Structure 1
């Protein structure tokens, strides 16, 4: 394929703000380690239905380490976990400022994942110019952090009760894209966030994290099933839960976790 085409395929989040689209979803969660409980990082990846059937899990070997990266065919990655013990999940923040000369989200994710630790990944997020508003959930065996990133930089998000649920509106950053940006988020985004907060009132284990991603409460549908046959209908094309203990485990679901089964994969 032509290099320009391959590059263009990576610009999913950037195409959204360039085309003024607000169709993006995704719900994410990070849980800090404590009292023998491992770090957890998890999310739903919500995209137009035409991605269904293109789900792929890339096994990448580099510098003696393996990474497993969930993606839609043609992209270098959507979310990933490395054998060095770092897991990254993401969700779009279309309200935040953009930068046409910044690094696109797919490359930010892969660049951060290559750093191997939360501290090094956080340093990377703080140094690179960001093309798009995006939330990054980071976890390794010793800690978890959340950052809201945009053209204005990377802003840390505080945890509550050891957990950091997030959806598609900023909780801390005020780097507004323009005067029309709805910083409070849509009703859907607020509903999904409340659903995640309900399911993290008691700090979750892997089973509870999966249940939170599969939730379909009225007003807070986290696991999205397509409501029409249209290829542009939103749906959860995949979900992941990373358990970052001594042994690193990936739970992955190729579709809405409320309707599809999970697979457990050792990293």
Structure 2
């Protein structure tokens, strides 16, 4: 087993965890190096989840909830069958952090928990799905960037995983302690950002979002990553922006098997949290999301990006826009909102792939570049 933790002494702080080898070894490195962060993250998740489920008598505690989620969906069993190395990584996280596997497995079904709770409780009590993605395609490089908006209780768990598995290229992945990943870039020059599309149909026989992301990042070309995303059965409605030096592919995937794709070669790409390509939606979810204001928030952010896109001419412009707390792209807890911008990423795909991360609230945290070990 090989692991190391690199902590940046800057005031904002940044924890980068090196995870190498097979799935179990990578997970143990993560769990051991970030043990206290993982435990605190799981405690906060448990508190938020049980607050939402307090009236459901057959779910008295977080272990009962995790067991119910795993049993009723079968999603982690699907991962173990189709992507056993990534399932082993989750097992390794639990072992390294000294926490129950069922909790870590359920925690890694983040997007899936959103629709599971929405179906069971007819509400979104622990989350307000967000995320704004920007892609710029230039003559010599492509920029892919994102503000990742997550439940406010996750703040403080931000980490970057520097992954070197047995077969795939090295990858840098924004994550939360205990999670296998949220968005990332690999040393072969493939970057992926994502947006939840909670109004699309889901599928308990599909691959959960976090595992689809990591599987795609194990590919050596954007074309191969595209094939992965288009070929697998998806557990959740999700938008994937897959970029390389030549451009960006924008793909909306639904659990009913629908995969709709658009290319952005010489034009900018922007996407938020509602489908743009006409995929079939779950009407009951649309009604709930509209009533809570989530769809309005998504369309507001998309309109803002449409207005500002012509003024974006490179990475510095994109960083400044994503970090400006005065814009609708930066989410802060207020009113009924219980989510905030968890972190921001900017991937530059040129002669050498580069990754910059801003972990924490926009306007308070600062951008920092994290190098690949092999080429940085």
Matching residue of 1:249: 354
Pair 1:56-2:159 in alignment: yes
Map 1:92-241 to 2 at 5 A. Answer: 92-151=196-255, 152-159=257-264, 162-178=267-283, 181=286, 186-216=295-325, 221-227=328-334, 233-241=338-346
Matching residue of 1:13: 111
SS of 1:8 mapped into structure 2:
helix
SS of 1:252 mapped into structure 2:
strand
**What TM-score, normalized by structure 1, do the two folds share?**
0.90
The structural deviation recorded for 1:208 is: 1.0
Structure with the bigger RCO (C-alpha within 8 Å, sep 6+) is 1
CA distance in 2, matches of 1:7, 1:200: 38
Alpha-carbon contact 1:118-1:143 (below 8 Å) kept: no
| Deviation per residue, 1:170-229 (Å, 9 max, x gap) | 000322123552699722111111222222114531011112213455xx510122337x
| Deviation per residue, 1:101-131 (Å, 9 max, x gap) | 1100000100111112211111111110001
Matching residue of 2:32: none
Cα 1:243–1:104 shift into 2, 3 Å: same
Alpha-carbon contact 2:128-2:338 (below 8 Å) kept: no
The structural deviation recorded for 1:64 is: 6.9
CA distance in 2, matches of 1:173, 1:211: 32
CA distance in 1, matches of 2:320, 2:260: 29
1:87 pairs, out of 191, 194, 198, with 191
| Deviation per residue, 1:220-252 (Å, 9 max, x gap) | 510122337x9x821101000000111221110
The alignment covers a number of residue pairs equal to 261
Cα 1:106–1:18 shift into 2, 3 Å: same
CA distance in 2, matches of 1:18, 1:180: 11
More deviation in 50-59 or 149-158? 149-158
Alpha-carbon contact 2:248-2:264 (below 8 Å) kept: no
Runs of 5+ consecutive residues of structure 1 not aligned to the other structure: none
| Deviation per residue, 1:44-63 (Å, 9 max, x gap) | 11011111110010111123
State the superposition RMSD in angstroms: 2.2
Q: Which has the higher helix share?
A: 2
Matching residue of 2:100: 2
SS of 1:61 mapped into structure 2:
strand
Alpha-carbon contact 2:136-2:144 (below 8 Å) kept: yes
Alpha-carbon contact 1:250-1:266 (below 8 Å) kept: yes
CA distance in 1, matches of 2:193, 2:285: 27
Alpha-carbon contact 2:168-2:220 (below 8 Å) kept: no
Instruction: Answer with 1 or 2: which has the greater Rg.
Output: 2
